C-alpha cells in the first residue's frame, strides 16, 4: 500500500514528520465455513487475510473532525456535536463509530484529522467495513491512552455500532480482527464470542478469491426470508425437544420432527444443522492435518449452500466445480452473501497460474470477467510502528 503517513501530512499540510500521531491497521477476513448459520449463535471457521485497512490520526487544534480516503480521493467533515450517521458520508460513518465509542467513555475527545487507505477487495463480503471500525478504534485507544482490553473494546464496538447505525454489528469480524495470528484458522463461537486458534496446514498455499462479478439485486430481502425460515425451524424443533439453538439438534431431529413443515424451512434448517457439524469436523481435520478430509467438507458445504440454502448461482457453481477439477486445489466454496459474489480456493503455490488458466473460459461462458485476488492468512489488528 501507499505510505499513509506521507499522504496524511500532505493532505493536512503538516510539516512535522512525527505526525500522524498514530497509525493502526485491521485485516479483512474470509469465512471458510459457517456463514448463513443461526443469527446470533453461529459457528464459523474463518481467518484474517493479508489485505487490510490503515487509519492515521492527528490531533487538531479545533473541534473539527476531518476524514480523507486517500484511495478514493474523497473528503468528509463534521464536528463532535454533529457526530451522527449520514448516508452521504458512506465510509466515514465507520470511523465515526469508533469516535462515538470513546466519546461515550467520557474521554477528552476533541478535533481529529483522519486518513484511511486499504487494499481489501470491496463489495464481496470480506469485512472491509468492520476493518475500518476496528482500525479506527485501535488507533484511538492508543492515541487516548485508554486502558481497555480487547474484549472490552469488542463489546463497546458492538454497542457503538448498534447505537450509531441502528442495526447489529458483524461482531465476528471484530473477533477475527482481534484474535487472528499468521497461518492460523479461527474456530469462532458467535454466541460466546470465543475464538480457538488452529494451525493451518496450508502454509505452502494461497487463498485465491474470485469475484464472479454477477450483478446482485434483492439480496438482503432473500437473506431475510431465509433467516425467518431458520427461526421458524428452531421454533418447531423446540416444541418437540427443548433446545436454545440449532446447534443442539442433529439431522435426525429434523427428519423426525419436521416432516410436516414447509419444504423450504426444512431445507434451510437442515443446512444450518449440518453446517454446524461441518465446522466441528473441519476443525478436527485441521488439527490432525487431514487435508483430503478437510477438502471434502468444504465442497459439501458449497453443495449445501447450493441445494439446501439456495443462495448460490450457476456462475459460482461453475467456479467451484472448475476448482474441484484442478490439481493442487484443496477446497473451494462461495463466501459472502451469495447470489453471485465471491468464491475462494485453497491452491498450492506452484499451481496458482495453472488454476488461473483454468478460469479463462468463465468470461466466454457467462459474459462476466472475473476479478482474481491472491491472499494469504493474515494477522490481527495492531498499531503500526513508526
The catalytic residue positions are: 173
Nearest to 375 by CA among 337, 345, 350: 345
Quote the distance between the C-alpha of residue 349 and its chain's center.
24
Nearest to 48 by CA among 135, 115, 158, 114: 135
**Residue 108 CB burial class (10 angstroms; 0-12, 13-18, ≥19):** exposed
**143-162 burial, b if ≥16 CB within 10 A, otherwise e?**
beeeeeebeebbebbbebbe
Helix 314-324 × helix 291-307 angle, to 10°:
160
**Residue 165 CB burial class (10 angstroms; 0-12, 13-18, ≥19):** middle
Could you give the CA distance from residue 115 to residue 135 in angstroms, rounded to a whole number?
Answer: 11
Could you give the CA distance from residue 95 to residue 239 in angstroms, rounded to a whole number?
Answer: 44
The distance between the two most distant Cα atoms of the chain, rounded to a whole number of Å, is 72
Element (DSSP H or E) covering residue 300:
helix 291-307
Could you give the CA distance from residue 84 to residue 282 in angstroms, rounded to a whole number?
Answer: 42
- Beta-strand pair 112-118/64-69: parallel
Peptide bond before residue 147 is cis, with ω within 30 degrees of 0? no
Amino acid at each position: 500500500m501507499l505510505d499513509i503517513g506521507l499522504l496524511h501530512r500532505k493532505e493536512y499540510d503538516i510539516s512535522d514528520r512525527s505526525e500522524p500521531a498514530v497509525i493502526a491497521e485491521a485485516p479483512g477476513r474470509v469465512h471458510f465455513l459457517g456463514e448463513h448459520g443461526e443469527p446470533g449463535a453461529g459457528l464459523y471457521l474463518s481467518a484474517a487475510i493479508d489485505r487490510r485497512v490503515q487509519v492515521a490520526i492527528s490531533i487538531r487544534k479545533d473541534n473539527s473532525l476531518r476524514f480523507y480516503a486517500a484511495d478514493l480521493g474523497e473528503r468528509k467533515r463534521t464536528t463532535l456535536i454533529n457526530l451522527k450517521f449520514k448516508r452521504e458520508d458512506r465510509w466515514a460513518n465507520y470511523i465515526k463509530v469508533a469516535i462515538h465509542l470513546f466519546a461515550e467513555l467520557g474521554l477528552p475527545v476533541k478535533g481529529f484529522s483522519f486518513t484511511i487507505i486499504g487494499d481489501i477487495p470491496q463489495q464481496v463480503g470480506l469485512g472491509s467495513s468492520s476493518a475500518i471500525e476496528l482500525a479506527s478504534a485501535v488507533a484511538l485507544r492508543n492515541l487516548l491512552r485508554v486502558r481497555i482490553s480487547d474484549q472490552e473494546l469488542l463489546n463497546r464496538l458492538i454497542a457503538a455500532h448498534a447505537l450509531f447505525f441502528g442495526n447489529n454489528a458483524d461482531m465476528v469480524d471484530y473477533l477475527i480482527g482481534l484474535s487472528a495470528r499468521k497461518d492460523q484458522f479461527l474456530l469462532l463461537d458467535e454466541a460466546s464470542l470465543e475464538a480457538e486458534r488452529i494451525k493451518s496446514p496450508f502454509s505452502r498455499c494461497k487463498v485465491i478469491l474470485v469475484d464472479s462479478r454477477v450483478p446482485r439485486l434483492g439480496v438482503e430481502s432473500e437473506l431475510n426470508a431465509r433467516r425467518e425460515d431458520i427461526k421458524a425451524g428452531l421454533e418447531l424443533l423446540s416444541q418437540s425437544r427443548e433446545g436454545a439453538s440449532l446447534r443442539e439438534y442433529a439431522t435426525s431431529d429434523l427428519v423426525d420432527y419436521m416432516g410436516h413443515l414447509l419444504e423450504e424451512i426444512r431445507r434451510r434448517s437442515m443446512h444450518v444443522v449440518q453446517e454446524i457439524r461441518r465446522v466441528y469436523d473441519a476443525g478436527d481435520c485441521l488439527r490432525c492435518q487431514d487435508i483430503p478430509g478437510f477438502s471434502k467438507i468444504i465442497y459439501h458445504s458449497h453443495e449445501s449452500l447450493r441445494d439446501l440454502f439456495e443462495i448460490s448461482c450457476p456462475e459460482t457453481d461453475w467456479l467451484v466445480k472448475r476448482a474441484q477439477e484442478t490439481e493442487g486445489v484443496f477446497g473451494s466454496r462461495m463466501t459472502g452473501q451469495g447470489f453471485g459474489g465471491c468464491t475462494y480456493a485453497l491452491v498450492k503455490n506452484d499451481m496458482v497460474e495453472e488454476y488461473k488458466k483454468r478460469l479463462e473460459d468463465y468470461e466466454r461462458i457467462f459474459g462476466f470477467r472475473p476479478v482474481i485476488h491472491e491472499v494469504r492468512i493474515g494477522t490481527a489488528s495492531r498499531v503500526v510502528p513508526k
